[in-house]
Amino acid sequence: MTINDKHTKRAFVMSILILALAFVSCAARTQAIKGPKSIASLEKVNIGGVEQWLLIRGYDTSNPVLLFLHGGPGVTEMPMAHDAWPEIEKKFVLVHWDQRGAGKSYHRGIPLDTMNVKQFISDTHEVVELLRKRFGVTKIYLVGHSWGSQLGIQVAQKYPELFYAFVSIGQVVNPTQGETITYQFVMDEAVKKQNKRAIRQLKQIGPPPYYTNNKFFILGWWMNKFGGVAYNKKHDYPHSFLRSLTSKEYNFMDLFRLYRGMLFSLKYMKDELLTFNAFEQIPRIEVPVYFLVGRHDYNTPWILVEKYYKILDAPKGKTLIWFDNSAHMLPFEEPEKFSDVMINRVLAETYIE
C-alpha cells in the first residue's frame, strides 16, 4: 500500500497519533502468575535517594531469589526479558531492576554526580538488602549481563557473603583491549564481505580508543551488522527494541525513557567504564562464579573472557560454559539453554537451604 493522496496521509498520521496516545494512557503492568505463593509485581522503590523500578516474578516466593543486572549502562532488559525464561520463574523469584537512569528509572531529576560506578555498587547492595529482608533470606543469586557483569562482579567481590553464586553473561574484562579486538573483527568482516561502506567508515574513525560517541556508535553499528552482538539477527539491538514495544511492563512514555536513559547513562559513565580492568581489579572472587560466553561475542570479546577465566583465583569454584550459537545476546538467542544452565547447573550445584 502506498500513501499518496493528502487524505490518506492525514488518516495515517492520525492513526499513529491515536496509537501513541493509547500507549501513553495505558498503565504499565505485569501479567499475573496463578498460585497461592506466586508473585507478579511491578513496583517503584527508593534506592540511594532516587525512585527506581523493580519487576518481581515467581511461582513460589519460597524459592531462591535471583537479581538480574541489565547491560548498558542504561540498556534495561526488563521489557524484553521476563517472558523469555518462564522456567526460571518456576524455580526462582526473578527480579529485574531498571537501574538509576535506565528505562522506567530514568528522569531528569537524577543528580549527575551520582552517575558513577561507586554509586551503582551502593545501589545494587541496597537492592540486595531490600530483597533479603523482604523474602527472609540470607543469600540470593546475582546475574549480570554485559555492563551488568562489570557491576555484578565488583559487588560479588565486595559482598561475597550475600550470594550463593555470581553468574556472568558477556563479561566485561578490559573495555580498552576489547574495543581493539572488536575493531579488528569488524574490519576483517568488512573486507571479507567486500562491504565498501563499512571499510570506508571504519578507516575514517580509525582504531580505538574513541573519545567521541559518534565513532563509538559507528563501530557498534557494524559490529551489530556483522553478528558480533547477536549471532541470530532476530535478537540484535534493533529487533530487541521492537520486542520491547509489546511489553506489558512498559507504556509509550517508558519506551521514551528507555531511549533517553541509554543516551544519558552513556554520556555520564562511558569515560569511567573504560578504566575498568578485571585482570587488575578483580584477581580473586570468593563466591562460585559461572561465565556464560557466546562463541561469537565481539561486544565483550570471548577471547578476553576466556583469558580472564584462566587466571581468576576463585577458591569456591569457577565454571565456563560456551553458547555455540550465540554472540553477546545469548540469554535471548538460546533461552532454553540459558534456563537449563541456571536451573540444572547453577541452582543444583550451589543452593543450600
Q: Which residues form the catalytic set?
A: 146, 297, 328
Distance CA 317, CA 284 (A): 11
Write the DSSP assignment of 183-229 as a string of letters: HHHHHHHHHHTT-HHHHHHHHHH-SSP--SHHHHHHHHHHHHHTTSS
Backbone angles phi, psi at 122, to 5 degrees: -65, -45
Residue with cell 514495544: 245
Other C-beta atoms lying within 10 Å of the C-beta of residue 60: 16
3-state helix, strand, coil in the chain (%, to 5): 50, 15, 30
The set of cell numbers assigned to 236 is: 540484535
Distance CA 304, CA 291 (A): 12
Other C-beta atoms lying within 10 Å of the C-beta of residue 191: 12
| Among candidate residues 178, 201, 171, the one with its CA nearest the CA of residue 189 | 201
Q: What is the CA radius of gyration of the chain?
A: 21
Q: How far is CA 163 from the centre of its chain?
A: 19
Geometric angle at alpha carbon 235, from 234 and 238, rounded to 5°: 90
Residue with cell 523474602: 135
The set of cell numbers assigned to 149 is: 557483569
